[in-house]
Amino acid sequence: MTVAELTGAGAAAARFAADLIRFDTTNRGGGDGRERPAAEYVAERLAEAGLEPVLLESAPGRANVVARVRGNGNGGEGARQEGAQQEGALLLHGHLDVVPADPAAWAVHPFSGEIRDGVLWGRGAVDMKNADAVLLALVSQWAREGRRPRRDLVLAFTADEEDTTEFGARYLVEQHPELFEGCTEAIGESGAFTFHAGPGQRLYPIASAERGTAWLRLTARGRAGHGSKPNEANAVTRLAEAVARIGAYRWPVRLIPAVRAAVEAIAAATGARLPAGALDQAAAGELTADELLGMLGPGGALVAATVRNSANPTMLQAGYKLNVIPGEATAYVDGRVLPGTEQEFRAVLDELTGPDVTWEYAHEQTALEAPLDAPLTESMARALLAEDPGSVVVPYCMGGGTDAKQFSRLGLTCYGFTPLVLPEGYDYYAMFHGTDERIPLSALDASVRIMDRLLAPDVPGVRR
């Protein structure tokens, strides 16, 4: 598909996504980021669609945009039934910041927004300026056609999702909760992407859970001294031993309901041989995670990160001169924790770090798990299957974290649904935070149709 073949909201989504990518909204952490130019662009597009966007700067350059779209009052199918309760408002959230990208390592400049051979390139093409652009394209289309969604929507475009959310979703939740009044559910990243599990086997995972964030700071203390002398209290040695233990540890299988349902659904959809009682054996420690995943074949990749907790060492800091043994050394570990396993995670870290190393949370956010059989998830599934008949929708738990962790503090039930119909051979997972991030224009076009089908009422004569 080429740009010239796109029409209506699909063409607008491609244009908006390319424009957003050209804003360098790199988030380097520690407050180093600038989303305001992209936020101003978003606010302008929303205003053109007849909305009243609110632009909120939590710190210089760290900007968020929130707008409310009034629904037509019909609610969903359940709400239209006699005596059924009217649905609350639905929050749709996406972040404007991106992780760093080294231009020297890319085939195209990461902030060029270049479209080549039907593919949009650039940092944020998948994570997640593409989804932001789809929302902008939809409200623009509705404004042109005089349509409204079936329920009230709140659109939130946030800063700082790629770090701690301090300047984005956390700021909005703590300082401006009134903007989300009436919201009962939320949709954000990720999920609803095509996963090719085998010939003719297309799975679409809808996220109803995500692991908690447990970023850790490890500190080893010892006796400073000359690098030429024996030192049995070397802080670097103590830290290295603890980090090695953490990196080598194999976390046991822990199957939360969403992941258990995902394993069963993947096995049923792909014909994978899952022996009777295999899940109970895995939960009891009689099967390792690798053994369980091996039974699922290629489909195991969808649950590989979420059948257990994880803790990956990522940063080391020690010393100031080669011939000086420092008195202190520090390491950082990216920990992710399944719902209900927080106490176990802490106990394991206490054991792995040992007596000579202390640890603390550098950043902690709760794990989430929402109902699998909600009316909203049923509507999501119908919207996907209408676009790609013959595919199978499966439950999904996200291995990482999103702004949903903050919005859940307002009592919202949160799901991951940023639909993309992707061709075989496209490595979706490699695009997240990877080199040469890119998205087919056809996927953006399909995303517009799916989200329109989910959110807006049927109107005779309107092409979906």
Shared domain check, 57 and 119: yes
Examine residue 13 and state whether it is found in any structural domain, yes or no.
Answer: yes
For residue 456, what pLDDT band results from cuts at 50, 70 and 90? Answer: confident
Residues 125, 219, single domain; the answer is: no
Residue 30 has pLDDT above 90, yes or no: yes
What is the CATH classification number for the domain harbouring 332?
A: 3.30.70.360
Residues 37, 179, single domain; the answer is: yes
Domain housing 329: 213-365
Amino acid, single-letter form, for residue 154: V
Instruction: Using DSSP, state whether 89 is helix, strand or coil.
Output: strand
Q: Residue 202 domain-assigned? A: no
The reply to whether 338 falls in a domain is yes
Q: pTM higher than 0.85 for the full model? A: yes
Q: Which domain CATH number covers 120?
A: 3.40.630.10
My answer on whether 176 and 29 are in the same domain is yes
User: In this structure, are 238 and 166 located in the same domain?
Assistant: no
Per-residue model confidence (pLDDT) at position 74: 64
For residues 407 and 304, membership in a common domain is answered with no
Residue 239 shares a structural domain with residue 90: no
pLDDT of residue 73: 76
Give dist(CA 393, CA 23) in Å, integer: 34
- Domain membership of residue 28 (yes or no) is yes
Number of Cα atoms under 13 Å in the Cβ half of residue 101: 30
pLDDT digits (tens, 9 = 90+) for 59-91: 999 999 999 999 987 654 444 443 334 689 999
Domain count along the chain: 2
pLDDT (tens digit, 9 = 90+) per residue, 116-144?
A: 999 999 999 999 999 999 999 999 999 99
Q: Is residue 256 part of a domain?
A: yes
Residue 284 lies in a domain: yes
Q: Let me know whether 77 and 14 are in one domain.
A: yes
Say if residue 463's pLDDT is above 50: no
Question: pLDDT tens, 296-344?
Answer: 999 999 999 999 999 999 999 999 999 999 999 999 999 999 999 999 9
305 and 234, same structural domain?
yes
pLDDT on residue 461? 38
**How far is the CA of 131 from the CAs of 3, 92, 270, in angstroms?**
18, 10, 28
- Average of per-residue pLDDT values in the chain: 94
112: DSSP letter: S
What digits encode the pLDDT tens for the residues 140-198? 999 999 999 999 999 999 999 999 999 999 999 999 999 999 999 999 998 999 999 99
Same domain, 136 and 241: no
Residue 10 and residue 19 in contact, taking contact as beta carbons nearer than 8 Å: no
With cut-offs at 50, 70 and 90, classify the pLDDT of residue 462: very low
DSSP string, 201-264: EEEEEEEEEEPEEEEEEEEEE---EETTS--TT-HHHHHHHHHHHHHH--PPP---HHHHHHHH
